[in-house]
Structure formats: structure tokens, C-alpha cells
A and B are shown apart, each in its own frame.
Chain A
Amino acid sequence: MTPMQKLLQLPVNAMNMVKTAQDQMGQQDEAKSPVMTPDGGNHNWYNGEPNDPRHIRFGSGGGDQEERAHLEEGGGSLSSLVTQPLRHDDLKEMLDSNKDSLKLEAMKRIVAMIARGKNASDLFPAVVKNVACKNIEVKKLVYVYLVRYAEEQQDLALLSISTFQRGLKDPNQLIRASALRVLSSIRVTIIVPIMMLAIKEAASDMSPYVRKTAAHAIPKLYSLDPEQKDCLIEVIEKLLADKTTLVAGSVVMAFEEVCPERIDLIHKNYRKLCNLLIDVEEWGQVVIINMLTRYARTQFLNPNMNESLLEEGGGEKAFYGSDNDDDTDDEEDKEEKEKKKTEATAIVKRKPYVMDPDHRLLLRNTKPLLQSRNAAVVMAVAQLYFHLAPKAEVGVIAKALVRLMRSHSEVQYVVLQNVATMSIKRRGMFEPYLKSFYIRSTDPTQIKVLKLEVLTNLANETNISTILREFQTYIKSNDKDFVAATIQAIGRCATNIGEVRDTCLNGLVQLLSNRDELVVAESVVVIKKLLQMQPEQHSDIIKHMAKLTDNIQVPMARASILWLIGEYCEHVPKIAPDVLRKMAKTFTNEEDIVKLQIINLAAKLYLTNSKQTKLLTQYVLNLAKYDQNYDIRDRARFIRQLIVPTDKSGALSKYAKKLFLALKPAPVLESPFKDRDHFQLGSLSHLLNAKAGGYQVLPDWPEAAPDPSVRNVEVPEWTKCSSREKRKEKKADKPFYSDSEGESGPTESADSASDTASGSESGSGSEESGSGSESEESNEESESASEEDEEEEGKKKKKNVEKIKARKPVPESESEPSSGEDVKKSEKKSKPRIGSSESESEEDNDSESESSESEEEESEEESEEETKKKKKTTASKPPSKPPKKENKKEKKEMSLLDFDDFDPAPSPSQVTPLNNFLSSSLVTDLEGLSLTDNVLSPTTIIPSGNLKTYELLHRITGEGLSVEYCFSRQPFSPDPHMVAVKIQFTNSATSEAKSLHVEDAKLQSGMRIKEFPEIEVLPAGETVSVVMGIDFCDSTQAANFQLCTHTRKFFVSIQPPVGELMMPIFMTENEFKKEQEMLLQSLGQLMGMNEITEKLTLEEKCQGEHAVVQRVTTAANLSRVPCGSDKECRFAGKTVTSGSLVLVSVVTKEDGAAQLTVNCEKMVIGTMLVKDILQALTQ
């Protein structure tokens, strides 16, 4: 505190003033402020105030009228005061009055003045007195005023500081935050130490909102006093470690402004930032993505390093290429594959490049943001992909960028600039969207020109004819600038694409007869450039152009023609001298640029054809000699010396011909956007093509990747888990509004005042999900949604909510960014875990997930130790813990840990089977399991007898051939992701049917068909069965195809009932429950998404366990989960294509009442399945 006090030793006068102000306001507490120590300062700044000349100056200054007008609209009663020159006196009077309404009115008028840009600084003393005003609205406006003028009136501004300092200690987080916000916005150098202290304190505040404000304050302080950099970096480092989405964006912004070069600070937070990204607010996302792009450029290897190699390794390429239609599960799956591949390559050492998993993480987590409504976010992701992604993956951004083109014209402008740069490097990416760049007559000119640029970049041999046709319509436009740009674009297309050069040239020549001179001129210039490439073949064009000199007046065009004729005078030997003759006539009236070219032409002709042109040349040179422009005079003199041989002429004249008629290289028509991508795309610097202040250069890829282990995070060991899958799926789960629980915790406790609605709801929500999953254990405690139990349930919930609230402070201390000391951890372990703290543990797990494998292997030894420790704690746990529910949770938690620890070796392939029921996204695991499934399938009840058959082709329409099909429910061996369909052909015709096969499948995207082998002959009266596989992509869309015989084709379609889209898997009762719980939790706290519950009354015949099992398994291809009670039946399966779990349970009660619960990640499947099973059970 001492430095602050010292700093704030205020002049006596100031103190007095404050006192008078206080007297007026009747506020005594101000005087108690410790910082207001009197001091014998000799400042006299306040004395002169009433007669201050400034007042008069401002009073009579400009803007008088407007001000008056405003006052009149403001308050009529006060208009009498307005007329006086010291107008602001009335405002002062109002501010000094006791009435809040008057103060408010005065402040509003003052703020309106500020908004209009009028000077209101002379009111500072009067306004600042009100900083402690009780009326909130007045206070707020005073703040607004203060922030605007404090910089100009530093001494007076100090008066307000104590108010804010008190605010910083307020129990309410919002007041703390706003106090810090205003304090840091006052740009007064003298309070830098106070700000520093305040920021440091706020950075470790309990409330994330205050921490966010602290992050915002950092750049403010930095701009005020750059000396504080080191201290600020410490704060930034601390805040970077923050786990809340609220803080992430702001702190990265501070990082970018204060210390963008300290890339090392990001290492430890990299994975966390990637994972939080999707939940950060939009503006923060932009900043984070841009920063991570730079980071990735320093830390990872160039994925396109071995482009050619990648292309060779077909497998690898397909793997990247297929990335587009993935869903997240697939991606994880792929990462797994990639991992395996890594191992493989390590041995073979054939493909040297393997993408760092962290690199992949970044790409994967940013991709969904392409769907953001915020153009800046989309652009940020697009540039990230452009700069970081493997070539084959960059394509995904094209669609999103094209979408932005339908936005406001300013957005279009920026996006088109970037697309123009991208399209040079990656033309193929935008080719499918060619038409989106077509120009509309309503586009502003700058947009038209940019679109033209893109179209030109996209032009290639295949699309050039369409583009040229489009260009032809543009040439007729009203907008002349645009027409000129179009002609240039045609020229560029012609140079780039040899095939169309002649066509373009012809087109341009036709334009030479256009009525519009500008068009003609532009064409001439472009033709000139084109002709330079192959002049021999085009002497007739040159002749044509020579004729134009009579008409064209545009200097640039005339000059171009003359240059052409001079350059290729040998091709037009007869015309050239004639042109010179004409030009010599008009020489004096030409523009300078044309004159220069006339001299040029004369010189060239003199060298090649001196007989005819000698005199003309002399004449022209003489004219030039007396020209007004010294450039022309100089040129004439120079050329005369050079070409006309005299005795004094130097050695150079021998080489005159070589000098003038050397073969000149054809100009390269290049896009102005070429090589602009050395600037980070989407940046201001890129747009301006010049480095803007504060631009951080996008570094080149490193030669060798820096050590990836720097990103490993120190993890509390006790929960470290050894399986990759688990960690990964946690990661995937997280982004669904992940932190709502974990974060609202501290928030709620910070305000001891009444909880917000959302807080209590989310608490009860999580409880519900807990109880929902346990309900299977005992029948009475059925689903939370069921009405019978609602009362009871409600009570319980209430209790639990209370409990949660009571517990809250404890978990909060955990989430505090504390370094993991063992003591604390073991304490935590022995603490009973209540239901609601579940989410918390998840968060913990998540942070671990950031640890990498390498570290894990090192820690294997440790983990054994942990195991022991854990066992100890398990044992030491008092067995009679609070309610039964909680006990269960606990057990589950423990078993989860035990499994991990007993796992002998953490190699992924071995882990999978054990771990499978712990994971919620089971794809990878189930794939590993598919063999086992088949072995276990005998336990499944396959109602083989009552397989339902459907008709595919009726005997009559099939002209004797009838076809039926059924879902055989056997695994389809060639491809496990396909549903096996057994097709039975019966030939009831008199003749035999030949070559029965499938043709021309019309499938929804993603669906696949594995045809049955062709049946060569089906004799009359015979029946034959074949099996084909269809991958329905987990949808009930029909697969349409043609069934062909040697004579006919029949259109047929197979539509699967939803129950056939799955295959049974074997599970124990416990596994089933765990899975069910997992499914419920996989969406964060939002239950209900994956669970559908229906009540029903069983039909009479259907009562009894066996009947239920029979009917359910008929309706859907599921296997029964063995269980003790005959009141409940559970069934498990997974969808064939994606392997998502499908869990069904039917709980029967008295009188045939029953409840059906279906849990499935795929909501659509779940909903449809419920319908089907309901029907099966109630019919």
C-alpha cells in the first residue's frame, strides 16, 4: 500500500475541493479514505477556476449553435441559461445540486456533447465530484466522462481513484470487475503501480469474469507504460493457464499485444486452448486461431513437405482425402490409424513425414468453426487451413469462403482478396465454385474487379471457354473501368493458356472496332502484349492496328500501336514508313508519350529501311529538338547521335541496331496477388500488401520439429489413465458447452447471494442424469421422467441440490490452478465423490488428457505406485458412506481406475478390449471387438424362424420372376459395416432366366452396395438365394437399384426397418449400465438427448419375459443382456455402419404396464427404434 499512498498524496486544494463536494453530497465516507493524505503541495490549479480564461474560450468557441440547439431539445426549462457565454455554468450548477434527476440530466447532456465530438473538458472538476454518487446511472455516465477526459486532466482524475480502489475489494464480482475496468481505462501514468497491483490481484480472483477483466486491463497498462512488460508477462503466463473459456480469448489478445514473441508461453496451454476453442466467444476465437496459426508454424513440420511422396503412398493419400465426409468418431478412428501408421513407418522408414498429433488436434478442433456465422471466425479458420493443413485437406474451406461471398459487400471485398491469393496457389480448390464468382451488374466496381481476378486465376484449359463466354457479356457493361479490367483479364487468360491465345486475340481484334474508345484503347494495349509472344503470325493484325492510328485518340493506345509497328517493322515493311509519315504530320499535337514512340519508330525505321525514311526521321528529330518537353528534346538528341553516322559519332553507333532491335522478352502478365501469401492471410497486411504496424511475420516451417514434449502438461498423477482412447474421447466430449458446470461453480460461490436460475438448474440436471442411469438397478427407482416417481424423485433432487450447494466451495478450491502436490491429491482421493462432482472429475481428466504418450510410458513405474496408493485409499474409505446412490458412483469410479492400473501394458491394441465399455464413442473399440462379437453371438436370440420377408419384385411385374428379400441378421463377411440382405429368386416362368445381376445403384450419399455375384442361369421353377450387403449409413433411406435379367431391367428398392440397421453385441449387466451412463453423460450435462423413454401397456399375450424378449428381438437385431430380474429386459446392439451403441431396456410392472427406454447416440435411430419396439410390444 505504501507506494500507492505516496503516489496519491494530493494537493491540499484538491482535498478541500473534495470536502466541499462531500458537504454538498452529504457523503462522509469519502473522508475516511486512506489515500487522501494532505500534503503541502503548492499547486494552484483549482483557484483560478471560476475566472479561468479557458472557459471563455470554450464558451465562445465553435459549435455554439449546435450546442444551443441541443440544449433546447434537451430541456426547455433551462433554456434561459443557454444564452450566456459561460454556458457550462448551468451544467455545473446542475451537477452540484442535490437532486439526482438534475445531475442525470446534466450528465446526459455532457455525454451527448462528447459523442458529438464537442469539448467538455472544462467540466472535469464538476463532474469528477460525482464519482461517488449513489445514483447508478449518474455514476455510470461519470465513468464514461472520466475515461474520456482523465488523460487530459491527470491531477484531477486522481481524485476518483480511491472509489475504484474500494470497488476492487467489493464482495460482488461484478463490481470488482467494473472497478478494475474503469481504473485501467484511466490513462494516467502516475497510477501505473496501482493498476499493476490491481491487475495482479484480479488475475488470481475467484471469479472468472474478474480474471477476464484483468486480461483486458493488461494491454491497457502496457500501452501506458511499456516498462511494465516483464511483470505483465508474468500475469499473462498465469492467466494463460486459466481453464475457463471466458478468460481464454481475452488473455490471448493480451498476449498478442504485449508479448507475441514469447511463443514458449503457449506450449503448456496449447492443447487446452485447442480444446476450449469451440466454446470461446467469437471474437476470442479469431484471436486464438490467428495466434495458433503462428504457433503451429514454429512447432510442427510442413505437411506438404513430401507432396510427391505422399502421392505415391496411395493409402496415405486416401486417408487424407476421405477426411471431408467424416464425423468425429471417424476422425478419432483415423487418428488411431495414423498412430499405427506412425509405428509402422518408424520401422520401415519409408515415409518420413508423420503429422504431429497436436497438429492434427488443431486442425480437427477448428474445422467446425467454418460453420460460424461470424465472417471473421470463418476467415481465421480458412487461413489456418491454408497455412497449416495438408494440401488434400485445404479444400474444405472453399465452401465456407464462397458462403461469405453472399455477405455484405465489405466482407466480400476482403474475402475476395484472400480468395484471389489462395486461388493462385490452390486453383483446384475453388474450381467447383466457379459460377459463384460470376459478376452481377449490381456488384460495386471494386467487387467486380476482384471477382474478375479470381475468375482469371481459375481459368484453365477445361473451363476457359465458359469463362471467355462470360467475359464477353462483361465487355458490354456500362461500367468502363470494369470493361477495361475485363479486357486485361482476357489478355492474361490468353497468355496463360496457349490453346485459346488465337481465339482471344481474334476477340480482342474485334473489339478494336468497338465504338467506345476506351475499350479499343485497352484492347490495343493488351493485343500489343499478346503479339509480342508470336509476332510472325500476326502481321495482318499489326496492319489492322496501323489503320487505327487514324481514329484512336487515347495516347496509351497510340503509343502502343507505334511501338508495335516499330518493333515489327520488318513484318509490315510497306505500311510502317507510311505510318511514320502520318505521325510526322501530327507530331506537334501528340501527347508526350506518343511523341516518344514516334521518335522510337523513326529510329527503328531508319535503321532497317533508311532509304525510305531517312528524311522523315530527320524531320521528326528536328521537330523533337524544339519540343517543349525536355525529355523529348533529350531523347531526340540522344537518338540522333546514336543512329545518324557522323565522323564524331562514338563507338556505340555501330551497335545501334542491336540496341534498338534486340529481341525483347514477352511481358509476363501476372496476377497482382501472386506471392501475397507470404503475409498471413486474412490480415490487414495481406490486404494492403504492405506490412502493417504490429504485424507478426508468419514464420516458415522449421526444418526439424522442435521437441513436442514441451506441450506435455504436468498432471496430477492419481488420475492418470493409461489408455489413449479414453483420453481422446474425453477430449471429444468436452466441447459441448463443456464448462458450464465446472465454471459456474466458482461463480455461484463467489456471490453468496441468491443463486441464478441456470446454476441451480444445471445442478439438478446433472443429478437427474445420475439418477436416470441408476434406475436400472432397482425397479422402484425408475426413470427420472416417469411420473409415478416424480414426487419422491423431486424430494431427493431438492436434497441433492442443497448438498451440491454445500459442497460447492470445496470443488472450487480444486479447480483453482494449483500445482499438483501429492498431499493435496491424496486428500482429494479420500474425499467421497458425490454425484454432482462427476463433472468435475471429468474436467480433471480432461486436463490430464493433455499429457502425451511419451510421458506416460515414463510414468509407468509411477503408476504402479499409484495403484498401491489407490488401493490403500479404497480400503481406507469408510464403507458406510452417505446415501446409497453416492456409494454406487464411487464404486464405479474406483473400478474405472482399477481397470486402468491393472492393465499390464499400455499399447493401444491390447487396451481396447478391456477398455471398451468405458468409452462412450466406441467406434475404435468395437472395431477391435468385432471378432469377439461373433464368437459371443450364440447367446443372442436369433429368431431365425420368423425372419420377416419382404417382396422386392412381384411375380407379375417380374414377368414370372419373383424376388423376395429378408434381413438375414448374419454378419456380412466381406464388409462388417454392411447389412446382409438375403435375396431369394424364384423363377415361376416357363423359360429360364439368365444373368441375374444388380446394376446402376442410385444411392444416397455415403451408402454403398456390395452386389451379389451374378446368377448365370436360373432354370424355370427353380429357386435360388444369394446374399448382398448394403451399407445404409445408419439411415432408413431406401437403397434403389436395378435388377437385371438378360432381357429386362426392374427398378427395385430395399428399405430397411430401423431395427435391421444394428447388430447385436454381447454385454454384461454392469457393462450395460455403464454404457448407458456414458451415453447420458457424453453430451455434457444435457441429458435427454440420448435417451428416449416411453410408457406403454403390454398386450396381454405379450406379458411375460419371454414374450417381451421375443418381440423386441424380432423388431430389432439386438441381443439380450443377461440379468437377474425377470421384471426387466435389456438389449444391446450397435449400429452397423458407425458402430454407435444402441441400448434398450424394458421394465415391466403390474398389470402389463411397462416402460421402454432407448439410449442411442444417434437420435434419429433412437426415435425410430422406440416407435418400432412400441408397436411390436403393443400389437
Chain B
Amino acid sequence: MINSLFLINPSGEMFLEKHWKSVVSRSVCDYFLEAKEKALEPEDVPPVIHTPHHYLISIYRDKLFFLSVIQTEVPPLFVIEFLHRVAEMIQDYFGECSETVVKDHMVMVYELLEEMLDNGFPLATESNVLKEMIRPPTILRSVVNTLTGTSNVGDTLLTGQLSTIPWRRAGVRYTNNEAYFDVVEEIDAILDQSGTTVFAEIQGVVEACVKLSGMPDLTLSFMNPRLLDDVSFHPCVRYKLWESERVLSFIPPDGNFTLMTYHVNAQNLVAIPVYVKQSISFFECGSDGRLDVTVGPKQTMGKTVEGVMVTVHLPKTILSINLTATQGSYTYDNGTKLLVWDIGKLNPQKLPNLRGSLSLQAGAPKPEENPSLNIDLKIQQLAISGLKVNRLDMFGEKYKPFKGVKYITKAGKFQVLTITASINKYT
């Protein structure tokens, strides 16, 4: 399966390597670096590269390339999914996944990688199990023991791998037993110039933070499970019960985990929380243009829209801009032509507006492409799809846990298309 792993930073330095089978020379990465040079953006590097003797499968995440070397047939998704797990594991252990973090904890990352794969085949990828074997850096690692040692130490530490519930470590004890669930929904939408919805859907995820003692068996039910069009679960969820009853029944892992992700496909029924009025226009003659954007709340179910941000990639031929915002502030990077307008909270009484003039490079033709506005927003205490958790029951343990559910709505890939109109200056 997976032969070797290289971590490569954007400048092409290989700062960590791990081999699970015979050592593969790092010169194999040259093929990758070559492809990387060719690609305009790091995202454009092909995930699978074929070299004379090896196959290179890579992911780009958190500004790092995770490059694995493969020698024989293996499902590419298998490798990709695993590489993402590695990134998640680093994130989980050290709070973020970045070059400096990995360099600071080189030995521990190496040990973790050693445990995650055996001979290139995944062995322990559940964070609960890994954390039993290798404690995260915050805890004194005096008791860490994995391979041998006195028998009782090994026993208490590795049981996670032995159980058929590998995601949960044994002997969990808490004084405060709590279970929190965050229902986070993201709206993916494309609105056209006139504000009509071209495409809209809602992606949801239920993030859980469960700190319960013993082996609790939880059942989470929704008021309106029929809303959910497509779901995927953490392995702890019993598929059959969902199929027959539409309830989530599971023995949770300890700590933070993603319980389920779902998709609401209501097409036009998706409530779009904001509307955007925009016009970007260029004068027929001369090299000037105008930009005018207004954002206002639409269907917000009585909640305030926060964290509103508008991002526009302006046409390449723009030379400079001169805008004024009635609310918030804007930044503009002339190199990337990226305009970011950070609005903040949306006040329905006084709608934020950004307007001003654009000037084009002298002699440059009127730009043809239509920049699209990317909108970012956040609404607390609202799941835009209307999904509601009905109740959470616990079986198998005697104590009474503290339970909490939080709802958040965010904008996912929320785009507003524009038309660049041309206007005659003199009319």
C-alpha cells in the first residue's frame, strides 16, 4: 500500500519523510516538484502523478503538500483519505497543521506516523486510540508506553485497539458529564445578477463534543429528519437504526468528533438570508468605471446576520480603485486585484453600501469577464434548513448528563454573479 510519506512546504523543501517499507529515495519527489512548478496554483497540481517506478499521490492542505509514494495498485481515494487523516491528526494533536508545528514536534509526528500505518496499511487512525498510545504534548508523557514494558501498563493503555468499538477509549471518567452538539449549516448558493437563485443547497454537519463517563449509549433524534436528503456518519452510528427509525444511535468517541454530515436539497426553498444589489459598470469611452454594492437582510428568521464579508476578484486590467464604505472597512490588494469588504453585523435600518470609482489601465479594453461576489456571513442560533434536535437520550449509564445543542448558519460557497454593464458617460 503506502510506501513512504513526504511533507513538502510550498517552496519545495521536504522537511519530513517516513518510510513504511524499504526506503524510497527522495529524488522521487522531483517529478512532483516539476508538476508543482508547472501548476499556476498549488491546487492545480494533479493529485496523482505517474512516474516510471512509482505513483505519487498528494494532497494540498493547510499550505503543505502531503506526498505519498505508492508502488502498486491501490484505490487512490484510500490514500487521499488517509493523508487527510494524517493532516487532521496533526491538527488534533497540536492545534494546527503547519510546517512550524510539525518541525517542533518532529519526533512525535514520526512516532504517530509509525503507529498509523503498519507496512503501509492503516493500523490505528482513530484519534481516541492514538491518544492512548501517544499522549498529546500538553500532558506529561511519563506514562506513555506502547510497545512493551510491564504488562499492566500495556494493558491499560492499548485496549482501544482491542475492542470492537475502536473509536472509544476505555475507562473514561469525568466529574462533569456533558454532551454538546453543534449543528452547523452552510449555504452553498449561486445567485444571478437579478438576485434569483440559480442554485442553492444546504450542507450541514453535526459536530459533537461528548465528555461522558463509562460507555454511554446515546440516541439523538430530530424533530424533522425528513429534511435530510443525504447523510454520512461517523462509524459509531448504527446505520440500520437510521434506516428504519431516523434516529442516531451511537456509542460516542471521547471528546470532539463529527457525528454526521448531511445535505438538504430543497432547491428553491432554501431561505437566502441576504440580498445583494450590485452594479459594476465601465464607461463606454475613457478608462473609468463605477462600483456600487449594497447588502441587506432577506430571510433571517428574526436573527441578526453577523460577520458579513464581501470578496470580489476585480478584473486584471483595473489600475486603481477609490471607494467609500458606509459601514465596515475594505481592503484592496492591487497585486491580486482582490477586494475584501468586511461589513460585520448587518443593520436592517441602515443598509451598508460600498461605492466609488474604478480606473482602468490606460488604453486597456473594457474588461469582459464578470467578477462574482463571494459572500461570507454567519447567523447564530439558527439552522437555516429548520432542522431541530428533538431529544437526546442516554442508555447504559446511570448518571444524568448535561446536554446542549447549538445552531449556527454560515455561508459556504455563496456567490453572486454580476454583469458588467457599459454606460455611456455622456448620457
Known: A1088-B396, A1162-B244. A440 touches B146 (CB 8 A): no
Chain B, 169-216, CB within 8 A of any chain A CB: 170-171, 188, 190, 198-199, 203, 214-215
Residue-wise, chain A 429-468 has the 8 Å CB interface mask toward B (1 for contact) of: 0000001001011101110000000000000000000000
One of A151, A179, A735, A1164 near B245 (C-beta < 8 A): A1164
Residue numbers in A under 8 Å from B251 (CB-CB) = 737
A286 at the interface (CB under 8 A from B): yes
A757-B214 in contact (CB<8A): yes
Q: Which of A111, A182, A282, A744 contacts B110 (CB 8 A)?
A: A111
A16 at the interface (CB under 8 A from B): no
From A245, A414, A761, B76 is in contact (CB under 8 Å) with A414
**Binary contact track A386-407/B, C-beta < 8 Å → 1, others 0:** 0000000000000110110010
Chain B residue with Cβ nearest A438:
B199
- Residue of B44, B217, B316 near A445 (CB, 8 A) is B44
Instruction: Indicate if the CB atoms of A440 and B413 lie closer than 8 Å.
Output: yes
B123 and A400 within 8 A (CB): no
Q: Which of A1056-1115 contact B (CB under 8 A)?
A: 1086-1089
B171 and A179 within 8 A (CB): no
Residues of B close to A1089: CB separation below 8 A:
219, 241, 249, 395
Q: What per-residue 1/0 map shows which CB atoms of A726-746 lie under 8 Å from chain B?
A: 000000100111011001100
Docked-complex contact A409 and B43, CB < 8 angstroms: yes
Question: Is B78 positioned at the interface, with any CB of A under 8 Å from its CB?
Answer: yes
Q: Which residues of A sit under 8 angstroms from B109, Cβ to Cβ? A: 115
Instruction: Say yes or no: A185 contacts B119, CB within 8 Å.
Output: yes
A-side contacts of B21, CB under 8 Å: 223
Pair B75/A174 contact, Cβ less than 8 Å: no
Q: Kindly count the residue-residue contacts between A and B in the assembled complex, taking CB atoms under 8 Å apart.
A: 309
Please state if A1163 and B247 are interface contacts (CB–CB under 8 Å): yes
Does B232 sit within 8 A of A, measured CB to CB?
yes
Contact indicator B415/A144 (Cβ below 8 Å): no
Q: A136-B148, A435-B199, A753-B155 are in contact. Are A220 and B231 (CB under 8 A)?
A: no
Contact B413 A761 (CB under 8 A): no
Given the contacts A116-B16, A139-B147, A408-B84, A682 and B155 also touching, CB distance less than 8 Å: no
Closest to A278 in B: B239
Bound: A682/B78 CA distance, A: 9
In the assembled complex, the Cα of A1005 lies from the Cα of B235 at a distance in Å of 28
Chief secondary structure at chain A's binding surface: helix
Whole-angstrom distance from the CB of B73 to the nearest CB of chain A? 4
Given contacts A144-B114, A174-B155, contact A438 B214 (CB under 8 A): no
- In the assembled complex, the Cα of A278 lies from the Cα of B78 at a distance in Å of 17
Tell me if B258 is interfacial: C-beta within 8 Å of chain A: yes
- Chain B contacts of A286 at CB under 8 A? 75, 78
B400 at the interface (CB under 8 A from A): no
| Residue among A253, A376, A415, A739 having the largest count of chain B Cβ atoms under 10 Å | A376
- By a CB distance below 8 angstroms, the chain B residues around A111 are 106-107, 110-111
CB distance from A488 to the nearest CB of B (A): 19
User: Given contacts A181-B118, A683-B75, A757-B215, is CB(A373)–CB(B151) below 8 Å?
Assistant: no
Residue from A171, A751, A1005 with most neighbouring chain B CB atoms (10 Å) = A751
B23: A residues at CB distance < 8 A: 148, 151
Selected from B16, B48, B60, B164, the residue in CB contact (under 8 A) with A743 is: B164
Residues of A in contact with B, size category: 35 or more
Judge if B344 is at the interface, Cβ distance under 8 Å.
no
Residues 407-433 of A, flagged 1 when their CB comes within 8 A of B and 0 if not, give 011110111000000000000000000
> B352 within 8 Å of A by Cβ?
no
Complex Cα gap A478–B318 (Å):
14
- Contacting chain B: which of A52-60, A693-701, A806-814, A884-892? A693-701
Contacting pair B146 A136 (CB below 8 A): yes
Q: What is the minimal beta-carbon distance from A324 to any residue of chain B, in angstroms?
A: 12
Known: A376-B81, A411-B77, A414-B80. A403 touches B110 (CB 8 A): no
Docked complex Cα distance between A329 and B245 (Å): 12
Q: Which of B50, B123, B365 contacts A515 (CB 8 A)?
A: B365
Among A137-188, those with CB < 8 Å from B are 137, 139-141, 143-144, 147-148, 151, 167, 170-175, 178-179, 181-182, 184-185, 187
Q: Once the chains are docked, how many angstroms separate the CA of A173 from the CA of B118?
A: 18
Cβ < 8 Å to B, chain A residues 523-577: none
Stretch in contact with the other chain, from B283-291, B323-331, B368-376, B378-386: B368-376
| Chain A residues near B55 (CB-CB < 8 A) | 684, 688, 692
Alpha-carbon distance between A1114 and B412 when the two chains are bound, in angstroms: 51
The answer on a CB contact under 8 Å between A253 and B121 is: yes
**A373 and B232 in contact (CB under 8 A), knowing A112-B107, A408-B59, A1088-B396?**
yes
A588 within 8 A of B: no
Q: Judging by beta carbons under 8 Å apart, are B47 and A414 in contact?
A: yes
* Chain A residues near B198 (CB-CB < 8 A): 438
Q: Does B350 contact A (CB under 8 A)?
A: no
Given that A181-B118, A283-B121, A376-B78 are known contacts, is A410 also in contact with B155, CB under 8 Å in the complex?
Answer: no
- Assess the A688–B50 pair: CB atoms within 8 A: yes
| Chain B, 212-250, CB within 8 A of any chain A CB | 214-215, 217, 219, 221, 226, 229-235, 238-245, 247, 249
Nearest chain-A residue to B395 (Cβ)?
A1088
CB-based contact A403/B230 at 8 Å = yes
A343 to B424, CA, bound (A): 81
Contact, CB under 8 Å: B147 / A143: yes
For B47, the chain A residues whose CB sits under 8 A away are 409-410, 413-414
Contact of A373 among B15, B17, B19, B234 (CB under 8 A): B234
Which interface residue of B15, B43, B141, B247 has the most chain A CB atoms within 10 A?
B43
A374 located at the interface, meaning its Cβ lies under 8 Å from any Cβ of chain B in the complex: yes
Most chain A C-beta atoms within 10 Å of own C-beta, residue among B58, B76, B241: B76
A684–B215 CB distance below 8 A: no
Query: Are the CB atoms of B199 and A216 closer together than 8 Å?
Result: no
Q: Which residues of B contact A182 (CB under 8 A)?
A: 147
**Is A281 on the interface with B (CB-CB < 8 A)?**
yes
Establish whether residues A736 and B240, one from each chain, have CB atoms under 8 Å apart when the complex forms: yes
B19 — nearest CB in chain A belongs to which residue?
Answer: A148
Query: How distant is the Cα of A1003 from the Cα of B115 in the complex, in angstroms?
Result: 53
* Residue B63 at the chain A interface, CB threshold 8 Å: no
Mask, B73-101, CB within 8 Å of A = 1, is 11111101110100000000000000000
Q: How far is the CB of A275 from chain B (nearest CB, A)?
A: 13
Q: Does B162 contact A (CB under 8 A)?
A: yes
Are the C-beta atoms of B230 and A139 separated by less than 8 Å?
no
Closest 3 CB pairs of A and B: A694-B72, A368-B239, A444-B43
What are 12 pairs between A and B in contact, CB < 8 Å? A139-B148, A144-B110, A173-B162, A219-B119, A281-B122, A372-B232, A373-B261, A414-B48, A685-B73, A693-B71, A695-B72, A695-B73
Given contacts A115-B106, A399-B230, 5 further A-B contacts (CB under 8 A): A115-B18, A376-B81, A438-B190, A682-B75, A1086-B396
User: What residues of chain B have their CB less than 8 Å away from a CB belonging to chain A?
Assistant: 1, 14-19, 21-23, 26, 40-41, 43-44, 46-48, 50, 55, 58-61, 70-78, 80-82, 84, 106-107, 109-111, 114, 118-119, 121-123, 125, 141, 144-149, 151-155, 158-159, 161-166, 170-171, 188, 190, 198-199, 203, 214-215, 217, 219, 221, 226, 229-235, 238-245, 247, 249, 251, 258, 261, 263, 313, 316, 365, 368-370, 372, 374, 395-396, 413, 415, 417
- Chain A interface residues toward B at CB < 8 A: 108, 111-112, 114-117, 136-137, 139-141, 143-144, 147-148, 151, 167, 170-175, 178-179, 181-182, 184-185, 187, 207-209, 213, 216, 219-220, 223, 245-246, 250, 253, 278-279, 281-283, 286, 290, 327-329, 368-369, 371-376, 378-380, 399-400, 402-403, 406, 408-411, 413-415, 435, 438, 440-442, 444-446, 473, 476-478, 515, 682-685, 687-688, 690, 692-696, 732, 735-737, 739-740, 743-744, 747, 751, 753-754, 756-758, 761, 765, 1004-1005, 1086-1089, 1161-1164
